[in-house]
Amino acid sequence: MRAVRACRRAPHTPVHIDSVDLRRLRLPLVRPFETSFGRTDEREFLLVRVRGEGEEGWGECVADELPYYSAETTATAWHVLERYLVPRLLGRRLAHPREVLPALADVRGHRMAKAALEMAAWDLHARQQGRPLWRELGGVRAAIPCGVSVGIQPSLEALADRVAEERAAGYQRVKIKIKPGWDRAPVALLRERFAELPLMVDANAAYTLDQADDLRALDGHGLLMIEQPLDEEDIGEHAALQARLKTPLCLDESIVSARRAREALAIGACRIVNIKPGRVGGHAESVAVHDACAGAGVPVWHGGMLESGIGRAHNVHLASLPNFSLPGDIAASRRYFEPDLVEPPFVVSPDGLMQVPQEPGIGVTIVADRVARATRDALTLDA
């Protein structure tokens, strides 16, 4: 028995997927989340389960119901997964999950849909090896530093209360969402109330270069960074803006691949990069972005997409790589979903750390009846 297992767990266990389940879920958020592009009280997302060789692997598609953070939506991701992506993998034998994204390369774009499938394949592979995902990805940390993303609030007082609460919970840095008209006053207030707070802002592409003065007004406040002030396509304009600011710019929406990251760094469009595996097509491309930034001496941090515990677990494993040297937007399960879809839930210690799971694969248990209750559509695709 032992010998058989050892053999199955040999270093070159191929990825062989013989069935894929797609599910669309809706889960109420613990509290609404407001950004420059809108307000969400219920998160819709897809889950992908891949099965092969008696094991399974799970991935979460971070696309939203509405095309406001990104062009992809749950509906486009479902369509592309069902018709184009899953058929390219079913019955195929790939030597390693790194081969998944190349196997999908003739389908243009749709990185969030691809990432969900690719990340499920990594979980499957890691479980087949009997190893936690972080080891397969090259992680080096047993715990990751956590920051928190605070949405646009109804008033400045409400914002100050929220930030005080998050500080008390241990988060090592706070990011607030800004938009034209909600930028100077909230930053000035937080600086007054929390002088030493590691603070940053995220505009989600709400500004144009014409409004550079609004952003320069934030320059004296010692912010860690300003995240994605301009449109995702405006990489050249971010370089022009960075030249006029002391505060580092960080790109999120603009960085859709390692190639794009290298281009952005080469022209000085940012000094920090946010990595979200969903945005770049999964773990392998995230590691490539991570490595490109490390090579250029540029720190990265892990973004968040209001994931359930399944996507969150993937994020925690990835964020254990060495160049994730700034606290990420990886917060406790209970800030978003109560209960989460996984056990144990992700928790943040009083000093702002989250443990990286040590069990095989993503290392958490998926609670089937919670998944079932939140499911709106389900489909199984077989080889």
List active site positions.
177, 276
In the complex, least distance from residue 235 CB atom to ligand NPQ, rounded to whole angstroms: 17
In the complex, least distance from residue 291 CB atom to Mg ion, rounded to whole angstroms: 21
Judged by CB under 6 A, does residue 204 bind ligand NPQ?
A: yes
In the complex, least distance from residue 286 CB atom to ligand NPQ, rounded to whole angstroms: 15
Give residues 241-300 in contact with ligand NPQ (rule: CB under 6 A).
252
| Total site size for ligand NPQ, rule CB under 6 A | 14
In the complex, least distance from residue 38 CB atom to ligand NPQ, rounded to whole angstroms: 8
* Under 8 Å between Cβ of 100 and 283: no
- φ/ψ region of 324 (left if φ > 0, alpha if ψ in -120 to 50, else beta) reads beta
- Residue 69, SS3 per DSSP: coil
Give the residue, chosen from 202, 232, 307, 340, that forms a contact with Mg ion under the rule CB under 5 A: 202
Judged by CB under 6 A, does residue 304 bind ligand NPQ?
A: yes
d(CA 158, CA 162) in angstroms, rounded, equals 6
* Under 8 Å between Cβ of 340 and 333: yes
Q: At what angle do helices 283-295 and 258-266 cross, to 10 degrees?
A: 20
Residue 33: name its binding partner from ligand NPQ, Mg ion, none (Cβ under 5 to 8 Å by kind).
ligand NPQ
d(CA 334, CA 30) in angstroms, rounded, equals 7
Judged by CB under 5 A, does residue 252 bind Mg ion?
A: yes
Give residues 52-81 in contact with ligand NPQ (rule: CB under 6 A).
64, 69
Query: Which residue is nearest to Mg ion, using beta carbons?
Result: 252
d(CA 352, CA 173) in angstroms, rounded, equals 9
Residue 172: name its binding partner from Mg ion, ligand NPQ, none (Cβ under 5 to 8 Å by kind).
none
Show the tokens assigned to 376.
């709106």
Strand partners, 361: 132
Residues 6+ apart with CB under 8 A from 210: none
Nearer to ligand NPQ, 201 or 241 (CB): 201
Binding site for ligand NPQ (CB under 6 A): 33, 35, 40, 64, 69, 149, 202, 204, 252, 303-306, 329
